[in-house]
Amino acid sequence: MSHDASAGGTALLVLADGTTFEGEAIGASPPAGVSGGEVVFTTAMAGYQEIITDPSYAGQVVAFTYPHIGNYGVNAADMESARPGCRGVVLRDLTRRRSSWRSSEDLGDFLVRTGTPGIAGIDTRRLTRHIREAGAMPCAFGTADPEVLRAAAAAEPGTSGIDLVAGVTTPEPYTAGDGPLRVVAYDFGIKATILRHLGVFATVEVVPASTPAADVLARQPDGVFLSNGPGDPATLGYAIEAVREVLESGVPTFGICLGHQLLGAALGGTTYKLAFGHHGGNHPVRRLRDGTVEITSQNHNFAVVDVPGTEVTHVNLNDGVVEGIRCTDRPAFGVQHHPEAGPGPHDASYLFGEFADLMLGSE
């Protein structure tokens, strides 16, 4: 992608069903004036930089429901990965003047520099209502002719049945944190904030998604962490098999988001795609052991159900989706939401402490 313009004139967003929105090109200029992916909406009111750089958005175009994006600029500390994970962004209004002592760059300039295309001036309320009714779907956007964009939207494959993890996982192992416990973390698209939380109590060796369970267990970890990540868990047979072997070993295991889905699949549960997913920092989840309602950060299109040998620990109050499971016969649990937030509330951050307790044998 060329990095030559933060605003490229009139542009269109075309959904796979033909629905069309008019706007203005922002960010990087894509080849032939066309970008695409599966469009989803996020209800987060802040944290746009963390969202854009979250690898779990691989293959997707993120539409922000909050109307003003870019108010406080961007900075190096809020990166969740080295580069943006999404295919592009859809905004109502890109703020032209940032205002924050932490900022080092305008969002528009950041999009250009990182090769991320976008479209602004979109009626995101209308777009969100349409996705809620019709479901998340492929799209194309840019400055190309309408016919070209319609054809591109129709040709986009979406995220079902595609291994998106292979494109975001680390190519080589690396270490993060300096805590006393030893954790091996599978990188299916891990966020920097997760590593900061784990690093408080563990020295974390992050390994590629395709690492065999035998290699992980040979490191003699106190625990194994299964990270968040993009796409369809059913395509990750190699990961499901590795998780199954880790569970059979009895090593304490904790999964978040995609890691939670892989945990469920390894135990014989069913994974399925939600109509438009959960994306945002304000989703209510009930903790079943005591009825506490936690406001959570979420980013997923798939979910798990009917997992043998587990009890459901958390439930989404918006639609009843399983938000947490715990094994009844081995030291393993997972949650669908993001207890590390980044962005979002910190109501669920205690779950990292529960993982530490599990490794210490105090649960």
**Residue 96: C-alpha distances to residues 23, 44, 46, 105, 212 (Å):** 16, 20, 16, 11, 48
- Write down the pLDDT at residue 11: 97
Backbone CA torsion sign across 82, 83, 89, 95: positive
Q: How far apart are CA 117 and CA 11, in angstroms?
A: 11
- From 3.30.1490.100, 3.40.350.10, 3.50.30.20, 3.40.30.10, which CATH number describes the 7-155 domain? 3.50.30.20
- Write down the pLDDT at residue 7: 54
Torsion on CA atoms 212, 217, 221, 225, rounded to nearest 10: 40
Q: Is the pLDDT of residue 362 over 90?
A: no
Enzyme catalytic residues: 257, 338, 340
- The domain ranges of the chain are 7-155, 165-360
Please compute the mean of the pLDDT values over residues 11-15 and round it to a whole number. 98
Average pLDDT, the chain: 95
Percent of the chain with pLDDT over 90: 94
Task: Tell me how long the chain is.
Answer: 363
pLDDT 10s digits, 172-219: 999 999 999 999 999 999 999 999 999 999 999 999 999 999 999 999
Same fold, 7-155 and 165-360: no
Q: Which two tokens stand for residue 355?
A: 């993982």
- Write down the pLDDT at residue 235: 96
Q: Is the pLDDT of residue 228 over 90?
A: yes
The superfamily in CATH containing domain 165-360 is Class I glutamine amidotransferase (GATase) domain (3.40.50.880)
pLDDT 10s digits, 37-82: 999 999 999 999 999 999 999 999 999 999 999 999 999 999 999 9
Q: Is the pLDDT of residue 10 over 80?
A: yes
**Residue 206: C-alpha distances to residues 85, 169, 203 (Å):** 18, 10, 10
Tell me the pTM.
0.94
